[in-house]
């Protein structure tokens, strides 16, 4: 009976160590995923800012094109 209890105790200790190792692994993966999420959000915001900038530049170029065409037509 004592031997059985000792074997069960050792088994439980091994399982505890395994569970702690898995917990640490999961925490590390969680931190990694959060860091990747923050990076992706920053990249998304950067891309949105670049998109808005490109749209503004496009509108500016269209306005300049129309203005130049008007000047060419009126001076011809």
Give 10-61 pLDDT, tens digit per residue: 999 999 999 999 999 999 999 999 999 999 999 999 999 999 999 999 999 9
Confidence of residue 76 (pLDDT cuts 50, 70, 90): confident
- Residue 7, pLDDT above cutoff 90: yes
What's the CA gap between 6 and 18, in Å, rounded? 18
- Residue 4, pLDDT above cutoff 90: yes
What's the CA gap between 76 and 71, in Å, rounded? 8
């Amino acid at each position: 009976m004592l031997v059985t209890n000792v074997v069960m105790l050792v088994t439980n200790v091994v399982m505890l160590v395994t569970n702690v190792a898995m917990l640490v692994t999961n925490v590390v993966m969680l931190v990694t995923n959060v860091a990747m999420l923050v990076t992706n959000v920053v990249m998304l915001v950067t891309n949105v800012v670049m998109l808005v900038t490109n749209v503004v530049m496009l509108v500016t170029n269209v306005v300049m094109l129309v203005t130049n065409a008007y000047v060419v037509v009126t001076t011809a």
